[in-house]
Amino acid sequence: MSKLAIPSLHQALRKSFTNLESNQKVWKSVLAECSPLMVSLGNLAEQSRALSNVQISNTPLRDFPDLEDRLRFKLSHATDVVLGKLNEKMSSLQSVKDSISNQASGVLQLYEQNADSLDMAAVTERSATTPSVVDMLEWLQDAERHYRQQLLRRKYLLQMLRADDLSSLESAPHRWKSLDSPDAEDRITDTLCKVSFFMESQ
């Protein structure tokens, strides 16, 4: 019985890791697109700050009517546009995460269906080319958890931004950057390396 379950599990795992690999690339590229947007968000905040610091009536620009209000409107409009773009990016990140989550839970479900026929020895059996089922499930879950955390933290950062809190807007690009955790990304890359032989051994 276990003879039958293991290959099908392996097959599912292979599929998930392929999926993970492609998703990782998508995630990276989307994030790369986000960072200039964040920088421009910070710039806009800085401009707003400068606008509130200056007394337009003391400058040669005082002849323009309603200049401050107009500028402010323009800036907030631009901020809105940037945030809208960021939101689009977030939804594509969300779809990446959803796909990874679905894969991970699908594999675990497949395992659970066959759990009765698989004893511990079978699932913990490793070889030089093939990591054990336990390890691979674990890596998959770890990756899923990492993306979930990343997505939530970034979403949280964006949701907590408020137009009247300029300092938080200004620091947003910096905080966005600090959310990157290269360690965890590396771990996922490592994982993909570890399973590369397994994926090739169709």
Partner 1 sequence: MTPLRLLSEDPSDRGSQRCRLGPGMMSALGLSLGSPLLVSVPGGSCLCTAWPRSDLAESFLQMDLKCVSPSLTSQVPTQVDVDPGQFTPVSCPKLKGVKITVVVQTADFKKQTPVRLVHEFVKDMLKGVHVHKGYVVNLEDFDTEIRYAVIESINPDDSNAGLITSKTGVEILGIQTARHYRNQLQGERAVQLGGLEEVSASLKEMLQLPLLYPSTLNSLGVSCPRGVLLVGPPGVGKTVLVHRVVWEVGASLVVVRGPEVVGSRPGESEEKLRAVFERARSAAEEGPCVLFLDELDSLCPRRTGSSAPENRLVAQLLTLMDGINQSDRFLIVGATNRPDSLDPALRRPGRFDREVIIGPPTLQQRKAILSVLCDRVPVCPSVNMAELAQTTTGYVGADLSALCREAAMHAIRENSKGSGEQVVGMKHFQEALKSVRPSCLRSSLGRTELTPVSWEQIGGLDEVKLKLRQSIEWPMRYPEAFLRLGLCRPRGVLLCGPPGCAKTTLVKAAATSSHCAFLSVSGADLYSPYVGDSEKALAQLFRQARACSPCLLFLDEIDTVIGSRSSSQTPNSVQTRLLSVLLNEMDGVGLKTLERRGTEKILLAEGAEENHPKEELDCQEVCNKDVMVVAATNRPDCLDSALLRPGRLDHIIYVPPPDQQARLAILKVCTQSMPVGADVCLEELATKTDLYSGADLENLCKEAALLALQDENMEASEIKHTHFLRSLSNMCPSLTAQQIHTYHTAHR
User: Interface residues with partner 1 (CB under 8 A)?
Assistant: 105, 108, 111-112, 115, 118-121, 123-124, 134-135, 137-138, 141-142, 145, 148-149, 152-153, 155-156, 159-160, 162, 187
In whole angstroms, how close is the CB of 197 to partner 1 at the nearest point?
A: 18
Nearer to partner 1, 56 or 110 (CB): 110
In whole angstroms, how close is the CB of 108 to partner 1 at the nearest point?
A: 6
Selection from 97, 93, 186, 106 nearest residue 148 by Cα: 97
Nearer to partner 1, 35 or 124 (CB): 124
- The one-letter amino acid at 4: L
In whole angstroms, how close is the CB of 134 to partner 1 at the nearest point?
A: 5
Q: Estimate the crossing angle of helix 182-194 against helix 2-53, to 10 degrees.
A: 160
In whole angstroms, how close is the CB of 124 to partner 1 at the nearest point?
A: 5
Contact (Cβ atoms closer than 8 angstroms) between residue 140 and residue 107: yes
- What is the Rg, in whole angstroms, of the alpha carbon atoms belonging to the chain? 24
Q: What DSSP string describes 153-179? A: HHHHHHHT--TT-HHHHHHHHHHHHHH
In whole angstroms, how close is the CB of 63 to partner 1 at the nearest point?
A: 40
Q: How far apart are CA 115 and CA 58, in angstroms?
A: 77
Contact (Cβ atoms closer than 8 angstroms) between residue 114 and residue 120: no
Distances from the Cα of 126 to the Cα of 8, 131, 136, angstroms: 17, 5, 11
In whole angstroms, how close is the CB of 105 to partner 1 at the nearest point?
A: 8
**Which DSSP state fits 67?**
H
Contact (Cβ atoms closer than 8 angstroms) between residue 48 and residue 72: yes
